[in-house]
Amino acid sequence: MLGLLLGRKGANRSEVIAEFREALKLRGDYAAAHNNLGLVFAQSDEDDKAIAEFREAIRVSPDYADAHANLGATLMPTDVEHAIPELERAVSLNPASVRAQFNLAEAYGMSPNHGPTKQIERLRNVTAMSPDFGRAHLSLGKALLSQGQVDDAVTELKEAVRLEPASGEAHYQLGLALARAGNQQDASAELAKGRELSSASERSQNADVDIDEGRTSLDRGDVGQAVEKFRHALKLRPDSAPAQYYLGVALERKGDVGGAEAAYQQALNADPGSTPARQALDRLHLPDTPKSAIPAESHETNDAAKVDELEGYVRDGRFAEVEPLLADYVKGHPQSDWGWYALGYSQFAQKKIGDSIKSLARALQLNIGNAEAHKILGRDLMIIGRFDAAQIEFEQGIRYAPNSAEMRYNLGKLFSIQDNWESARKEFEAALRIDPSYVEALDALGFAQEALGDDTAAVKSYENAIALNEKRHGIFAAPCVNLSAYYNRTGDPAKALAWADKALALDSNSDAAWFQKSRAQERRGGLAEAIESLKRAVSLNGHSSSYYYVLSGLYRREGKPEESQKALEAFTRLDRENSELDKMRRGGMARPTVERPGGGRE
């Protein structure tokens, strides 16, 4: 679902909500849209709206486990007695959901009618299901300590600290337990460590507040206040990629292009996987558009003040809001290639592919040299499977912006989708000649080299991408995932497991990394461990039908036919839902690519 993908990418909240609303217009009984819309509201603390959406999802689909789990989790802080039946229902429908099991345990602990005994029993189930779930070990340790089971509490809290060494709360609670056990020396050290880490966590939370307030200031046009907030966030967290990125946005709005470029580069250094920062730099590096977020053209066809206003919407990602304003603008300025490009760009961002193609085609009729319009039109055409036409657009983009690494990268990705690996390799190499620090291109080059059978070069590319990411203290996990997949393919599950763990150290929420870890564990004979890791991947990305297919096979091998059948049914249901949604989004056109488990890796 597009709205869900946009939410995971950090898109503007109103844009995500608009996409889910659009899905519900097309199909009012679409339970998943209600559920995911509820998640958006819950994340912004609009609990009443979230609860209403979760209940509507359950009304449409009474056996929707995720909706019951989400409703229960949202009710917990204010109405735990009504939360518990929802969570119990979620667990009965999907016993493999670690999240629902954990929330149910916490709800039992909060409820005077249930208490710590049931909480402890449930938490032991959770830690058995997911041994690497640090928060569950922490909660279990606290509950055991409250019941006077000090030795068991120490054991669980030590495990929590091992799994989450940066958790101030885990260290502090371990200190309390050690003190109760009479180990004062170690207790003092853990308590001090807990206070230190908690202080750092508080600084991080305060930085997040500054970033949120800065974005609010940007929305209302107070750029000076926004700059101040983002700079204060960076004092608290100098390595914050979001703070650097939004500082760049604010400085660009002020006209400080040099400062904006420096901030975007710092954001990219902190997080080499930051697509918005890279796109912003590419935008600023275009020779004919040094100051504009969108390619500009002659003053004769444009209202400069209006252009500045509309560009602000685009820079802030407020695409649903700016689209009707841009539609009005091109009515009054029909010869403005900038206006048509901006309209097409905003439509592309909302995945209104047909409208975007029409607008961008008009922009290119007026100005064939608009490289960014060629690029976005190429992406539109990729989505609908018109690979031949997309190639022409990317090649035109390269012609008019020969120094753009992203143009070469996009063409390489197009060739990759078509399994034209030799051409893909050449384009990724060209992108890296322009920008040797393009981590995504290094990773993609490794994938192309691996597909061409040049395993030595592929491993070297992955390792170079990893080294560059480490040098920048980034969190780009994809090359570690790809190395794990490579070693799984070549029969070295020990190395595959090690690289999967390194990927998870960078991004513990990488479902692709959990999938590769599961494959490695299976090959090492740890069938039960493999199932647990794959269940973790499913809990992080429950919309990947292929994960359920693989899980069904693992359950079958373990001699659990009922679980295998349930996983297979989930695969069938999700596969059907995904196909139906694709038809709605693309007017019945078939998908140009096939989802594979593990982030594109088999």
- pLDDT(294) > 80: no
Cα separation, 533 vs 543, in Å, equals 16
Q: What percent of the chain has pLDDT over 70?
A: 85
Confidence of residue 315 (pLDDT cuts 50, 70, 90): confident
- pLDDT(177) > 60: yes
Query: What confidence score (pLDDT) does residue 508 get?
Result: 84
Confidence of residue 221 (pLDDT cuts 50, 70, 90): confident
Please state the rounded mean pLDDT for residues 195-200.
75
In a 13 Å sphere around the CA of 48, the CA atoms on its Cβ side amount to 0
Mean pLDDT for the chain overall? 82
* CATH class for the domain made up of 477-602: mainly alpha
Query: What confidence score (pLDDT) does residue 577 get?
Result: 65
Residues 6 or more apart from 374 whose CB is under 8 A from it? 364, 393, 394, 396, 397, 400
Query: What confidence score (pLDDT) does residue 274 get?
Result: 67
Looking at 77-81, 150-154, 342-346, 453-457, which range is the least confident one?
77-81
Structure confidence by residue, pLDDT tens digits, 552-592: 888 888 888 888 888 888 888 777 766 555 554 444 333 33
Query: What confidence score (pLDDT) does residue 201 get?
Result: 67
Cα separation, 72 vs 77, in Å, equals 10
Print burial letters for 42-56: b (CB count within 10 Å at least 16), e (below 16).
beeeeeeebbbbbeb
Please state the rounded mean pLDDT for residues 69-86.
90
**Same fold flag, 223-285 and 477-602:** yes
Please state the rounded mean pLDDT for residues 414-438.
92
Query: What confidence score (pLDDT) does residue 159 get?
Result: 93
Structure confidence by residue, pLDDT tens digits, 114-140: 888 899 999 999 999 889 888 999 999
**Domain ranges across the chain:** 2-201, 223-285, 477-602
- pLDDT(295) > 60: no
Confidence of residue 282 (pLDDT cuts 50, 70, 90): low
Residue carrying structure tokens 């020396």? 185
Query: What confidence score (pLDDT) does residue 397 get?
Result: 92
Please state the rounded mean pLDDT for residues 56-82.
89
Please state the rounded mean pLDDT for residues 532-561.
85
| DSSP track, 78-142 | T-HHHHHHHHHHHHHH-TT-HHHHHHHHHHHHH-TTT-HHHHHHHHHHHHHH-TT-HHHHHHHHH
- Residue 269's alpha-carbon distances to 5, 200, 275, in angstroms, are 24, 22, 12
Looking at 103-112, 349-358, 579-588, which range is the least confident one?
579-588
Residues 6 or more apart from 83 whose CB is under 8 A from it? 71, 72, 73, 74, 75, 76, 107
Residue carrying structure tokens 């898109």? 11
- pLDDT(12) > 70: no
What radius of gyration, in Å, describes the C-alpha atoms of the chain?
A: 25
* CATH class for the domain made up of 223-285: mainly alpha
Structure confidence by residue, pLDDT tens digits, 250-279: 887 777 777 888 888 888 777 776 667 776
- pLDDT(347) > 80: yes
Query: What confidence score (pLDDT) does residue 249 get?
Result: 86
Best-predicted range by mean pLDDT among 229-238, 251-260, 422-431, 526-535? 422-431
Structure confidence by residue, pLDDT tens digits, 428-459: 999 999 999 899 999 999 999 999 999 999 99
Residues 6 or more apart from 199 whose CB is under 8 A from it? 168
pTM exceeds 0.85? no
Name the more confident of 220 and 505: 505
Report, at the CATH architecture level, how domain 2-201 is classified.
Alpha Horseshoe (1.25)
Confidence of residue 14 (pLDDT cuts 50, 70, 90): low
